[in-house]
Amino acid sequence: MIGEFKVYGWQSDVGRHFQYHTDNPDYLLSLDRGNGTKISFESASYLIQKNSAAFVRLDQVREFTIQPMSVAEGFVFPADFVQRSIANYFDCVVPSGFKFLPEMDLTQSSNSGLIDLIRAFRDMCLTSDAYVSPVAIARFEELLSSLIVENFRHNFSDSKSSSYSHSITPAHVKRAVDFAKAHARHPITSNDMASAAGISLRSLQDNFQKFLETTPVEYLRRIRFEGVRRELLSSPPNSKVINIARSWGFIHMGRFSIEYRNKFGVSPAQDLRKEEI
């Protein structure tokens, strides 16, 4: 158990088959890095192998067939966890008839990247000696919930209907921007910006693109870089770049330094020493 979701794994040298029934509406993300697992539900069956996965509701599963030399792993997400994400994404109650398409192609970078993120978080929580705070887990779950609805295909993925998106005004964008500027040194997310603006995350993302031609995440990141630069330029030369950068939420110093130079044309150390270019 990690936060709100469960993880499991098994390895089988022989084939196994068993029927399954539950009224539990939680969602199952099933993968297999071996010879495969077949999941049967409703009127279809899917063989999950190295380049594929399935995302289904547990109460729709009827049978599991585990192939010899199967190396299976899975993640179970609470139904209310996923339903909240869907409602936030569409800025309304969950649309009638909404359902995820069960088959996932892991050769697509958006799917494989998200799976890698989930696995990395699982491994960090289960194998790391470092303490993982409940706040960090909650932040990850918030990010993950948005990514699931945005990346896992569902029967509304290709819908262009505006009935599921409420328009907002520049006043809402300004509220989100003001909130981001006031709290940039705190561990806020785009969801926090949306809440401060009084609109859904999807509406915030759409209208940041419309009015500011960027995403909330990138806008927040830009504010933080600008904050670091202001502080470097106003700090004594014997200050530590790493301390200033980390106070603004930047942890990976190599990546930070590269991006800083790309943005401002100088290194963080040059700005700290006020060197002329």
What mean pLDDT, rounded, does the chain reach? 82
Examine the domain organization and report whether 147 and 177 are in the same domain: no
Examine the domain organization and report whether 13 and 139 are in the same domain: yes
Per DSSP, helices labelled H in the chain are 79-90, 109-127, 134-151, 170-183, 190-197, 201-212, 216-234, 241-247, 253-264, 268-273
- Cβ pair 248, 224 in contact under 8 A: yes
Can you give the C-alpha Rg of the chain in angstroms? 22
Examine the domain organization and report whether 141 and 16 are in the same domain: yes
On whether residue 1 sits in a domain, the answer given is no
- Cβ pair 149, 201 in contact under 8 A: no
Query: What burial class does residue 252 get, using C-beta atoms within 10 Å of its C-beta: 0-12 exposed, 13-18 middle, 19+ buried?
Result: exposed
What is the pLDDT at residue 179? 93
What is the pLDDT at residue 268? 93
Does residue 16 have a pLDDT over 80? yes
Calculate helix-pair angle for 201-212, 170-183, nearest 10 degrees.
Answer: 100
What is the pLDDT at residue 167? 42
The DSSP 8-state label assigned to residue 94 in this structure reads P
Give the residue with greater pLDDT, 130 vs 57.
Answer: 57
The domain total for the chain is 3
> CB count, 10 Å around CB of 184?
19
Segment 165-186, tens digit of pLDDT: 444 457 788 889 999 999 998 8
Name the residue range of residue 194's domain. 165-214
On whether residue 159 sits in a domain, the answer given is no
Lowest mean pLDDT among 49-58, 77-86, 200-209: 77-86
What is the pLDDT at residue 166? 42
On whether residue 156 sits in a domain, the answer given is no
Boundary-marking domain end, from 197, 214, 231: 214
Examine the domain organization and report whether 122 and 241 are in the same domain: no
On whether residue 175 sits in a domain, the answer given is yes
Share of the chain above pLDDT 70, in %: 85
Query: What burial class does residue 172 get, using C-beta atoms within 10 Å of its C-beta: 0-12 exposed, 13-18 middle, 19+ buried?
Result: buried
Query: Which range is most confident: 23-27, 42-46, 126-130, 155-159?
Result: 23-27
Under 8 Å CB-to-CB from 33, ≥6 apart: which residues?
Answer: 50, 71, 73
| pTM of the complete model | 0.56
Domain of residue 103, CATH code: 2.60.120.280
Examine the domain organization and report whether 27 and 102 are in the same domain: yes
Mean pLDDT of the region 33-41: 89
Mean pLDDT of the region 133-143: 70
Q: How far apart are CA 222 and CA 184, in angstroms?
A: 10
Examine the domain organization and report whether 18 and 134 are in the same domain: yes
Lowest mean pLDDT among 13-27, 105-119, 183-197: 105-119
Which among 75, 85, 67 is positioned nearest to 191, based on CA atoms? 85
Task: Give me the amino acid identity at 219.
Answer: Y
Give the residue with greater pLDDT, 93 vs 31.
Answer: 31
Examine the domain organization and report whether 112 and 191 are in the same domain: no
Examine the domain organization and report whether 266 and 173 are in the same domain: no
Domain of residue 232, CATH code: 1.10.10
Share of the chain above pLDDT 90, in %: 19
Examine the domain organization and report whether 209 and 254 are in the same domain: no
Examine the domain organization and report whether 22 and 73 are in the same domain: yes
What is the pLDDT at residue 260? 93
Tally of residues, the chain = 277
What is the pLDDT at residue 160? 41
Calculate helix-pair angle for 79-90, 201-212, nearest 10 degrees.
Answer: 30
Q: Which token pair is 139?
A: 């932040």
On whether residue 111 sits in a domain, the answer given is yes
Examine the domain organization and report whether 31 and 124 are in the same domain: yes
Task: Give me the amino acid identity at 124.
Answer: M
Lowest mean pLDDT among 134-138, 143-147, 189-193: 134-138
On whether residue 140 sits in a domain, the answer given is yes
pLDDT band at 163 (very low <50, low <70, confident <90, very high): very low
Which among 29, 119, 35, 36 is positioned nearest to 75, based on CA atoms? 29
Segment 212-256, tens digit of pLDDT: 888 999 999 999 999 999 999 989 988 999 999 989 988 888 889
Give the SS3 label for residue 180.
helix
On whether residue 160 sits in a domain, the answer given is no
On whether residue 42 sits in a domain, the answer given is yes
Q: How far apart are CA 274 and CA 20, in angstroms?
A: 67
Give the SS3 label for residue 31.
strand
Examine the domain organization and report whether 260 and 175 are in the same domain: no
